[in-house]
Amino acid sequence: MSTPQASSVAPRHSVPLADAAEAERPAASTRTRGTSTLGLDSPAGSVAPLLPWFTEGIAASAPTPWLVAADTAAKVPVGGYSTAKATGEWAFLSDPSLSLEDKLSRFMIAVQKKLGDELTEKMNDYKAKYGEGGTEAKKEDGGGIFGSILGAIFPAGGIFDKVLGGLEKLLGEALKSLGGPLLAALATAVGLPALAPAALKVGETLGAVLAGAATGTKAKTTSSGTTKGTKSTPATTPRTSNPPTSTAKKGEAGSPDERLEMLEIQRLVEKQNQLFTLVSNLMKSMHDTSMVAIQNVR
Amino acid sequence: MIPTVDDLKAGRTLAEIQGFTREMGATVASLAAREAGGGDLEVARGILEGLVVTNPRDPLAWALLSQVERRRGEPFTALLCAEAAARLAPGDRQVRLARAEALLAVPPDAGPGGAGRRELARAELEDLQAGADEVAGRAAALHRALGP
């Protein structure tokens, strides 16, 4: 069923399909004659009439040495390019369906996860070393260095076993109350110079911790006085007046190694912050660029 | 110039590195002894601690520090210092006296070895009182004070 409007639109100049095919044929044959790829059989032959300057210097017999067919190029191995494709968590980088913003977001998430894992691992390491019952905390309790020095001062089977048995704790406390330099000097004096550097470190930190607490303990343990014939002086003066030990780092918890671990954790947190700032700035810049383009269109 | 970790491990002393001579050490030690004799134990202790840090192999400095610590009421620190001195110079009379005094300074009720410490110190003092020097005089006085 046709309407008056439809009949008025219908009369147009049109070519029947068969005629259209005939009309296209000569042109197509001209375009593809003698070529299977990029369409130039001989520059001198087919291109010369159109681009005379183009064929200058090229021999008539030269079969287009600088034009390479796409399928041929794919077969020729070319070095220098990476053939690896991103896989796993980084596969999104080679996903053509994702926009740059999507890739940036996913990149940030991936890196954030990696940093988060690293941070958690570091914190677990710290806990294992310096937490309650940690290996390093045990060391600083004095087993290693203090035990070695005490063992060197009072060798087994000597005076210690005979007359100083049961005083290990008190002697250990006295040893710990010495400052780092004095402890190192003691280690050297009793023939353990190899322990001197470690004693210097441990003595500094422990000396600071024990300076306050040990004074009270010592005053209690020594309040029974000294022997007859010797002048007794109560232990009222704190050891903080001692030049070598008073410089111990008060207020800084932990050994140098522990502080190093804390600094590493701090560095990781700062790295995360830097990443956030970087991506944030990048996205803002991209947004601003897009907005400029949109405003120009308006 | 300060000692490196390698210096410390090799047992090199600050005195060796800085050219601190034995005479200088003896002068500093006598200064500390004078301060201790005058009753200023804290000053004496500071000087002697500096001296043993400068040269940990000086038995006289350790023995003097032991005496100062004992007088300050720190018997266990005194014992540690006396033992360090005895390690360095076991036959030195002044060191032996300091060690005997440090043993006597440990409270008798501290640990089960009170009587043993007393006997050990008595034997040392008895041996030391044979002589004509200052150590002998002090050892004899202490031995008498200990009683039979």
Decide if B104 touches A, using CB distance below 8 A. Answer: yes
Greatest mean pLDDT among A86-90, A150-154, A169-173, A277-281: A277-281
Best of A149, A150, A164 to disrupt the B interface by mutation (most B CBs within 10 Å)? A164
Contact A160, A226 (CB under 8 A): no
Whether residue A115 lies inside any domain: the answer is yes
Taking CB atoms and an 8 Å cutoff, what residues of chain A touch B49? Answer: 179, 181-182, 242-245
Whole-number pLDDT of residue A291: 92
Residue with the larger pLDDT of the pair A202 and B77: B77
pLDDT in tens, A271-298: 888 888 888 888 888 889 989 999 998 7
DSSP annotation of A86: P
From the list A171, A168, A180, the residue with the least C-alpha distance to A140 is: A180
Q: Which domain holds residue B104?
A: 5-146
Nearest to A165 among B5, B9, B111 (CB): B111
Cβ-Cβ contacts under 8 Å for A50 (sequence gap 6 or more): none
Contact A62, A48 (CB under 8 A): no
Residues A126 and A260 in one domain: yes
pLDDT by residue (tens digit) across A99-153? 888 888 888 888 888 888 888 888 888 888 777 666 665 554 445 677 777 777 7
Q: Are residues A279 and A216 in the same domain?
A: no
Look at residues B41, B35, B2 and name the one whose alpha carbon lies nearest to residue B18. B2
Chain A residue with CA closest to B46: the answer is A242
Best CA proximity match to B97, nearest among B132, B71, B122: B122
Residue A36 belongs to a domain: no
- Asked if residue A70 belongs to a domain, the reply is no
A107 within a domain of the structure (yes/no)? yes
A138 in the same domain as A213? yes
Least confident interval from A207-216, B57-66, B123-132: A207-216
Whether pLDDT at A33 is above 50: no
Are both A239 and A279 inside the same structural domain?
no
Q: Is the pLDDT higher at A46 or at B18? A: B18
Question: What are A216's two structure tokens?
Answer: 């009270």
As given in the structure block, the two tokens for residue A192 are 């353990």
Residue in B52, B80, B106 closest to A153 by CB = B80
- Cβ count near A13 (within 10 Å): 4
Is the domain of A120 the same as that of A262? yes
Query: Taking CA atoms, what residue in B is nearest to A163?
Result: B113
Same domain, A181 and A244: yes
Do A125 and A259 sit in the same domain of this protein? yes
Residue A166 has pLDDT above 80, yes or no: no
Does A107 share its domain with A154?
A: no
User: What integer is the mean pLDDT of B63-83?
Assistant: 90
* A189/B88 touch (CB, cutoff 8 Å), yes or no: yes
Report how many domains make up chain B. 1
- Per residue in B5-63, pLDDT tens? 777 777 788 887 878 888 888 888 888 888 888 888 899 999 998 888 888 888 898 99
Q: Do A188 and B56 touch (CB under 8 A)?
A: yes
Residue corresponding to tokens 């970790």: B5
* ipTM of the modeled complex: 0.84
Mean pLDDT computed over A85-107? 80
Inter-chain residue contact A237 with B8, CB threshold 8 Å: no
Contact B80 A174 (CB under 8 A): yes
Cα distance between residue B4 and residue A287, in whole Å: 57
Beta carbons of A193 and B62 less than 8 Å apart: no
Whether residue A242 sits in one domain with residue A138: yes
CA B51/CA B47 separation, integer angstroms: 6
A154 neighbourhood in chain B, CB within 8 Å: 83
The 3-state secondary structure of A165-212, one letter per residue: CCCHHHHHHHHHHCCHHHHHHHHHHCCCHHHHHHHHHHHHHHHHHHHH
Contact A133, A289 (CB under 8 A): no
In chain A, which among 184-213 make CB contacts under 8 A with chain B?
Answer: 184-186, 188-191, 193-194, 196-197, 200
Query: How far, in Å, CA of A283 to CA of A286, rounded?
Result: 5
Longest dimension (CA), chain B: 54
Could you give the residue ranges of the DSSP H alpha helices within chain A? 4-9, 17-32, 70-75, 100-130, 135-140, 144-153, 159-163, 168-177, 180-189, 196-221, 243-246, 256-297
Contact A224 B109 (CB under 8 A): yes
H-type alpha helices, chain B: 5-9, 14-18, 22-37, 41-54, 59-71, 75-88, 93-105, 114-128, 134-146
Residues of A in contact with B104 (CB under 8 A): 226-227, 230
- pLDDT on residue B123: 87
Distances in Å between the alpha carbon of B112 and those of A221, A247, B39? 15, 37, 33
Assigned domain for A35 exists: no
- Does one domain contain both A117 and A180? no
Tokens linked to A66? 């600088």
Q: What is the pLDDT of residue A103?
A: 84
Mean pLDDT of chain B: 86
Predicted structure pTM score:
0.49
Q: Is residue A114 part of a domain?
A: yes
* Residues of the domain holding A145: 133-224+233-250
Residue A214: phi, psi to the nearest 5? Answer: -70, -25
Enumerate residues 6+ apart whose C-beta is below 8 A from B35.
Answer: B41, B43, B44, B47
Which tens digit of pLDDT belongs to each residue from A212-262? 444 444 444 444 433 333 333 333 333 433 444 433 343 345 666 777 778
Q: Which residue of A has its CA nearest to B60?
A: A189
pLDDT beyond 80 at A87: no
**What's the first-to-final CA gap in chain A, in angstroms?**
46
Using the Cβ of A217 and the Cβ atoms of chain B, whether some distance falls under 8 Å is answered with no
Instruction: Assess contact for B139 and B128: CB atoms under 8 A.
Output: yes
Same domain, A238 and A260: no
Report the CATH number at residue B49.
Answer: 1.25.40.10
User: Which residue, A48, A34, A33, A43, is CA-closest to A66?
Assistant: A43
- Smallest Cβ–Cβ distance between B111 and the set A167, A184, A219 belongs to A167
Residue A191 lies in a domain: yes
Shared domain for A124 and A163, answered yes or no, is no
In whole angstroms, give the CA distance from residue B111 to residue A159.
14
Phi-psi group of A15: left, alpha or beta (phi > 0 → left; psi -120 to 50 → alpha; rest → beta)? beta
Task: Please indicate whether, in this complex, the C-beta atoms of A228 and B145 are within 8 angstroms of each other.
Answer: yes
Verify whether the Cβ–Cβ distance B112 to A154 is below 8 Å: no
Coil, strand or helix: which one is A228? coil
Q: In total, how many domains does chain A have?
A: 2
Q: Would you say residue A206 lies in a domain?
A: yes
